[in-house]
Structure 1
Amino acid sequence: MATMPAGYYSRFDASKNYERHLGRAGKVLQSAEFNEIQQSIQDRLKRIADVLFKDGAIIRDCGILVDVNTGACQLEGGAVYVRGAVRGVAPRTLTIPVIGTVQVGIALNDVVVTELEDPTLRDPAVGVRNNNEPGAARLRVDTSWARAGDGTPGEFYPVYTIVDGIPQSQQPPPQIDAVALAIASYDRQSAGGMYVSSGLRVTQLADADTGEQVYSMAEGVARVDGREVTIPHARRVVYAAVPDLKTVISEPHVATGGSERVTLNHGPVAAVDQVLIVAQRVLTNFQHGAFTGAQDTLPDSPVLSIVAVNQGGTWQAGSSTFSGGTTFVAGTDYKLTSDKVDWSLSGTEPAPGSSYTVVYRYVAPVTPTGVDAAGFTVAGAVPGSVTQITYRWKRPRIDRLCLDGVGMVQWVQGIPNDSSPVAPMVPPGLLSVATVTQTWTTDRSVSNDGTHMLPMSQLEAMQRQIDQLGVLVGEQALKTEIAISEPTNKRGLFVDPLLDDTKRDQGIAQTGAVFDGILTLPLVDVHVATVSLAGTATLPMNNAATAPVIAQTLRTSCMKVNPYDAFEPIPASAVLEPATDFWTESRTVWTSMVTRIFQQTRRQEWGPSWGLLTRFTGTTTQVVVDWQTEVTRQWQEDAQFLRPINIKFTLSGFGPGEFLDVVQFDGRPMTFTAA
């Protein structure tokens, strides 16, 4: 403590680097020197302790419980490291605001105590002149829980940060800062330092009455930038999400008439700014101007068209015509000019100052009813006309819920997009815990896609799955190799040439025998004992006791397939010749020939022959061509069309009295001659 109470002296200054006080003989001990010795020792101890702990670090207990509805804050007693010492604090109950950020911590109040407050401080020595005389005073430090700015006397040191009634993360005691920094550095280098160790699952709750989004984040532990962040209990997270709005101007919709529901092209709708419909009005007793050719101004604007003008008749809404009276002709008697009935044409017109009826259509702004996220209800539009709507809608967005290094919830907003929003990048120093897809409807979803730590049991299970996958891949490779190299196992068919027993299932008892390409019934093995004879002998023949040495006791029986002759007459047969057509089509894919040609030249010479015949002299060249074809790839495909060929057919098997009228092949009639 550098500042001494009034009336007490101390010259302690850490910057002077005084190591100790050196007492000198014959010199008086000063009270200031006595105070300096204590402060020097306390300063040295505080410098060491500050390396291990920081002010406000919880050493023991000191739990907190906040009622988010009333703001009642119950603080448990315990021990907290403050100002170079571990100080005890008694339990206390405070009332804090439930909206906003509040800091709760320890208030240290320094109190000087003398013999006046504590008589036991007088000199207890007996038999001396100083007996019961006052001596040195004492400095007492009182600790108590307090809220920042609540007026509690003393120096305030924060311990808890409470946001909207929710205490933020506080590491469990004891926490040694030097050790925590070393662990954080190792964790960043080995595991990245950004992951959820356990818990912290985010669940969507019902929105607040004031419109804020409410989520619940379960208790858990995470590593943020290598440092441990502990959430001791579930936390209620309130997010005042503000949507990004996009304005659609004059979106057209064809009206059906009457009271109709209009579903907008985009949504959810934030606000409908303007709805313009084409309405029709029947204006009776409309007075003509005071002179011929006057222009009569209609009361609505803008006017799109005049449907009809009549004087003395009755408008029939069902047929959209007038009955009776005089109906004037548009373009001949009148025209529409700047929202006015213009009678300047050469045709007929009502008498000046007289009244007539005009039916016209105009653009009218209306107030929709039943507005929701998808559309609204509107009435009064002319069937088949275009309704124009200007509105604002909420664009979808992806937000991330993150934690910072002290356990505070931070929201990172993404960039909105009309159809496919993209999740934002996580800023450095923040851990993404969950992603919220903001559709601004009840379909809003929460995905707990943060990076989670996997325990060793799960890693071992994953390793076993990888090993099993490797075995499966190996087995599949063997099956593929067999399918390629072994001709007896292709396309799901197994063919045994019956050359030996190698293709038979060795795990099942076989009751057949393979011999000379034939699968036949086996012979029963009979053991014949060896008979020792002294010499040549004839075995007696006893027919009654004759026993076969080798016998085939199995036989093939037969049964009638249809013992009751319950079948229809055998249908007639048709024989096609040829019955199957095979042909080969060759297509050249590459311009270069795959066939390699090796040429070898032999030279022969002729000379003159001395005889009756003379041979001409010359040379011949013989070319030996060696062709070698390499098949690089082979595949099969179905032909797109059959080639046309002539087919001969023979029909037989018809009974007496059966005559053929029509013979068709593939749905086409064929010409035939009866034999």
Structure 2
Amino acid sequence: MIKDYYQQFDPAKQYSQLLFRASKGLQSRELNDLQLQSQHHVKGIADVLMKDGDVVKGGDVVVDNTQQRATIGASSVYLQGAVHDVPTAQLAIRLDKLEVVGVWLAKSVVTELHDPALRDPAIGAHNFDEAGAARLKISGVWGLSDSLDYPDSDFFPVYQIDHGTLIVKQPPPQLDSITSALARYDRESNGGSYVVSGLNVSYRQTSATHQHFNVQEGKAHINGYEIAFNTALPVALANDPDVREVINEPSRFIANDQGKMRIDLDFAPVQRIDQVTAEVKKRTELTRGHAQTGQNTDPFDDDSVIEIMAISQNGVEYRQGIDFIFVRNHISWRDGGDKPASGTTYDVIYTYRRAVEVNADETGFWLEQHLNDAEEVLENGLIVVDYHWYMPRIDLLVLTPSGSVERIKGAPDRINPQAPLVPHQHLGLAQVHQHWGSAPPQIQNIAIEAVQMTDLALMQQQISDLYQLLAIERLRNDTTAQTPASKYGVFVDPFLDDDMRDVGLSQSGSIVDGELMLPMSADVTQLAQTQTLSLPFELEDVLVQESRTGEMKINPYMAFEPIPADVTLTPSVDHWTQTQTQWTSPITRRLTQGGGRVRRVVEHTTTERVGVRRQQAEFLRSRWVDFAISGFDSGEQLDSLLFDGIEIISEVQA
């Protein structure tokens, strides 16, 4: 509190007016409370229309990326219930982050000690040149939110400069109440979040630490409030892929003609190869009777020995299991078997597992068979790889209500990564399909774009034209279906089917595939089931066995019943088709499409069930059936012949 300055105005007490009474002295506190009360009333009305940081006049911003500075023109800004004049300023900005530009508002008390003009200027008065009331000075300057040059000041954000691009949230001046009403109307009628124009996302490049994208200049509405970009907005996102480890991925080594093999890993792109272990065949020399192991065992120079392939000395081959055995990564010489003399060297060929050095790319590596003069990768040997790889992911780029572009990471997966959902308070701009490695990400713009009234009118006209064409086509098809024969007084039959023919007369012509032709008739003869039809042929001996060594009876003691006789019915199955029509088209169509020189094959199938009725056939047709019975031995006689339980009297021929 300033010396000799008193004020006790409290809005919570709800005092709306000062009532000065006669014969009561005037207090300086009452004059101070009168000012604060008046300012409180004005601020309550002004805050309904505007909010802190609204630019009422001026405030043009020019961003110079070359000089890395921003110039803000002189302006009038609404702050704390009053409009304050802020002079022009130039600010040094950074292009690698989001800069918040606003007004630093400072308050100070000025007395006659700071400004002599505040003394009483009334010449001749008893209070001439005496001190009077002090003044409260409120001044604002443009500055950055992280600036330390304005102590004892309050900061009010106004603009945002994202990586050198000015984000215009709404053009000045804006009345907050009207803006809120328009935003509510926009949300209820249009959904509130959509792109008016531009704001397409494109990929630029990838550095060691960041991925760089570009958002096209444009305008959008988020929850009804406008956000505009006068220039393209660069966006830098951290290059942070999800890494997964694969342990012991197996493969078999099969060398090509150049003595190497390309091994493509199951998952790519590869971040790094941790270890490649291969089965290696090695040829080396060992000394018999090592001093540290005694006289019967010799250790290998390598660990993880799998198998001893051969041991020899001066052309003498030693036998495994007889002369030596392999136990605990040692050669154990057996008593009673041949062995090299103590202290002499001998040749050993064995296989063991070892780590090999490879030069890997994003998908795999080449492996040479010959590692050095004494070692080579075993053919069809097991190769085991431990590595880390980048998992695919679908990220989401959204525009926030504050005008910044942010990334929402998706859920990575080996096969089917899932994209995140767009939050309710954000506007989705694009989905970034991350494949990592040298492959650039795929950008899929998903922003909902507003449709202009001219486009809606054109779309409505196209829909009307489509409905009109559909109606004309329906009328044309309906007319063709109902009266296809009568067109302009001429009788026309398109020969599609027999619908236009006179049902009361026998038709001698046939309609097949849109053509009127002479009918065809055929006599169908039932072939015997046992009859075989073929082209004329002569039998030729291909395999002949003319020699035999002996014979024996298959059933010398008649332990089985005799084989029953074979009965053959000709025909065994009776098929027939009843066609009750006076037209020859169906039969001709079958014959035309089923054989001969086929000029055209048309297949059209229509299935329509209008009803089902079942009844017993009153009569079955009669036909002759031949019985052929074979397999009787001599002396066997036919006693009776039954067909479906009915005795048949027939003439039996031997």
Partner of 1:303: 305
Seen in structure 2, the aligned counterparts of structure 1 residues 74 and 259 have a Cα distance that, compared at 3 Å, is farther
Match of 2:443 in 1: 446
Query: Match for residue 232 of structure 1?
Result: 230
Give the 5 Å matches for 1:198-597: 198-208=197-207, 210-257=208-255, 258-289=259-290, 294-312=296-314, 325-344=315-334, 347-369=337-359, 371-379=360-368, 380=371, 381-440=377-436, 441-478=438-475, 480-481=477-478, 484-485=481-482, 501=490
| Alignment partners' CA distance in 2, 1:501 and 1:121 | 112
- Between 1:336-345 and 1:160-169, the stretch displaced more is 160-169
**Secondary structure in 2 matching 1:193:** coil
Q: In the TM superposition, what is the alpha-carbon distance from 1:241 to its structure 2 partner?
A: 4.0
**1:167 deviation in Å?**
4.8
Name the SS for the 2:186 alignment partner. Answer: helix
- CA deviations 1:584-631 (Å, max 9, x no partner) are 9xxxxxxxxxxxxxxxxxxxxxxxxxxxxxxxxxxxxxxxxxxx99xx
User: Aligned residue for 2:21?
Assistant: 24
Partners in 2 of 1:115 and 1:503 — Cα distance?
114
3-state SS, counterpart of residue 271 of structure 2? strand
Per the alignment, in what secondary structure is the counterpart of residue 106 of structure 1?
strand
How far 1:402 moved relative to its partner? 0.7
Task: Give the structure 1 partner of residue 599 of structure 2.
Answer: none
CA distance in 1, matches of 2:203, 2:589: 56
Query: Are 1:190 and 2:189 matched, yes or no?
Result: yes
1:84 to 81, 84, 87: 81
2 CA distance for matches of 1:283 and 1:419? 47
Q: Name 1:494's counterpart in structure 2.
A: none
Task: Measure, in 1, the Cα distance between the counterparts of 2:311 and 2:590.
Answer: 75
- Does the Cα contact within 8 Å between 1:219 and 1:231 map onto a contact in 2? yes
Choose 1 or 2 for highest CA Rg.
Answer: 1
Q: Which deviations, in whole Å up to 9, do the C-alpha atoms of 1:522-580 show, x marking residues without a partner? A: xxxxxxxxxxxxxxxxxxxxxxxxxxxxxxxxxxxxxxxxxxxxxxxxxxxxxxxx996
Q: Secondary structure at the match of 1:205?
A: strand
The residue matched to 1:44 in structure 2 has which SS? Answer: helix
Deviations 1:461-500 (A, max 9, x none): 2212222322343344345446655667xxxxxxxx9995
Segment drifting more, 133-142 vs 116-125: 116-125
Contact persistence 1:270–1:393 (CA under 8 A): yes
From 24, 37, 45, give the equivalent of 1:48.
Answer: 45
* 1:337 to partner: Cα distance: 2.1
Secondary structure of the 2:386 match is strand
For residue 660 of structure 1, what is the aligned residue in structure 2?
none
Residue 113 of structure 1 corresponds to: 110
Map 1:561-640 onto structure 2 (within 5 A): none
Structure 2 CA distance for partners of 1:68 and 1:365, relative to 1, 3 Å: farther
- Does the 8 Å CA contact 2:86/2:142 hold for their aligned counterparts? yes
Q: Helix, strand or coil: the match of 2:100? A: strand
Which residue of the partner structure matches residue 126 of structure 2? 129
Given that 1:292 and 1:351 are in contact with CA atoms closer than 8 Å, whether structure 2 keeps it comes out as no
Partner of 2:142: 145
Does structure 2 retain, via aligned residues, the 8 Å contact 1:58–1:81?
yes
Give yes or no for contact 2:165–2:232 (8 Å, CA) kept in 1: no
Using the alignment, how far apart are the partners of 1:499 and 1:460 within structure 2?
40
| Cα distance in 2 for residues equivalent to 1:269 and 1:188 | 46
Flag the 1:639–1:277 CA change in 2: closer, same or farther, 3 A: farther
How far is the alpha carbon of 1:70 from its aligned partner?
7.2
Q: Deviations over 1:42-75 (max 9, x none)?
A: 1111111111111112223324455668753433
Q: Deviations over 1:205-226 (max 9, x none)?
A: 1113x33111111222212122
What is the Cα deviation at residue 302 of structure 1? Answer: 1.0
Q: 1:326 to 1:196 in 2, by over 3 A?
A: same
Q: TM-score, normalised by structure 2?
A: 0.69
Matched pairs, number = 500
TM-fit CA distance, 1:428: 1.8
String of CA shifts for 1:274-327, please: whole Å, max 9, x gaps: 211122221124444469972222121211222221113xxxxxxxxxxxx212
Aligned 8 A contact 1:276 1:387 in 2? yes
Distance 1:77 1:349 in 2: 103
Question: 1:246 is paired with a residue of what secondary structure?
Answer: strand
CA gap of 1:388–1:78, structure 2 versus 1, over 3 A, is same
RMSD: 3.5
- What is the alpha-carbon distance in structure 2 between the residues aligned to residue 499 and residue 175 of structure 1? 71
Letter of the 1:447 partner, please give it: Q
Q: Letter of the 2:188 partner, please give it.
A: Q
Contact 2:167 2:227 in 1 (8 A): no
Worse overlay, 40-49 or 165-174 = 165-174
Determine the C-alpha separation between the residues in 2 that align with 1:112 and 1:76: 27
Q: What is the percentage of aligned positions where both structures have the same residue?
A: 34
**Equivalents in 1 of 2:362, 2:334: separation in Å?**
50
Read off the aligned partner of 1:194 and give its amino acid letter: S
More displaced 10-residue stretch of structure 1: 428-437 or 462-471: 462-471
Shift of 1:394: 1.6
Q: Could you list the runs of 5+ residues in structure 1 that have no partner in the other structure?
A: 313-324, 489-496, 505-577, 585-627, 645-675
> More displaced, 70-79 or 399-408?
70-79
Between the aligned partners of 1:129 and 1:167, the Cα distance in structure 2 is 59
